[in-house]
Amino acid sequence: MKATELLEQQHREVEAIFAKLESPRAGAEAQVKELANKLAGHMAIEQKLFYPAIREVDETMVLESFEEHAIAELALKRLLGAAAKDKTFAAKVTALKELIEHHVEEEEEELFPKVEKALGSEKLEELGQQMETLFDEVVEEGYQAAVPKGTRTSADAAERRVFKATQTKSTAGNHRNARQ
């Protein structure tokens, strides 16, 4: 499956979990845990594989995506800390859902068409296979292993890794140019 198709499929799965959470029923804690696992896995594959592979396609959108992930992860942490009976629970679900919906809309309407054109089907298939494997690993380990405690986010660390390599190359190039 192509990377973009995998991500879209996961978007639909997360939307279905949000729909369940919005209708008051028993089992909200299990649904929040399922949401946390799916979101942690999804963010991990985007941050570790997809965004590094596409950063040249639209660096501005990739940087924005990292920021959206960081904010969504903090909202997820707040939701995980709320009991289903808490009067803030529904508000936390809604806030996280709206953050995710905005992110999904930008990816699917703006970023994915650019990525499809730039990378092509073969590269997207290969990337999709790698992403599926990592997603399964992250979900199996659980969100606790993928989501750092406190105010740090997995997006912060991933963004530094992705763009540190670019800065290092850029700095090396600047030094070479200065010597010439």
Write down the domain spans for the chain.
3-179
pLDDT number for residue 180:
46
Whose tokens are 């963004």? That residue is 159
124 confidence band (pLDDT: 50, 70, 90) = very high
pLDDT number for residue 178:
46
- Rounded to whole angstroms, how far apart are CA atoms 17 and 13? 6
Residue-wise pLDDT tens digits, 16-46: 999 999 887 678 999 999 999 999 999 999 9
Whose tokens are 């940087």? That residue is 63
Question: Is the pLDDT assigned to residue 76 strictly greater than 70?
Answer: yes
pLDDT number for residue 170:
47
Whose tokens are 């740090």? That residue is 152
Question: What CATH number has the domain spanning 3-179?
Answer: 1.20.120
Which runs of consecutive H residues, i.e. helices, occur in the chain? 3-22, 28-45, 51-54, 59-80, 89-106, 112-141, 143-146, 154-179
Question: Is the pLDDT assigned to residue 159 strictly greater than 70?
Answer: yes
Residue-wise pLDDT tens digits, 38-67: 999 999 999 999 999 999 999 999 999 999
Whose tokens are 């809604």? That residue is 94
Question: Is the pLDDT assigned to residue 78 strictly greater than 70?
Answer: yes
Whole-prediction pTM: 0.85
171 confidence band (pLDDT: 50, 70, 90) = very low
pLDDT number for residue 165:
59
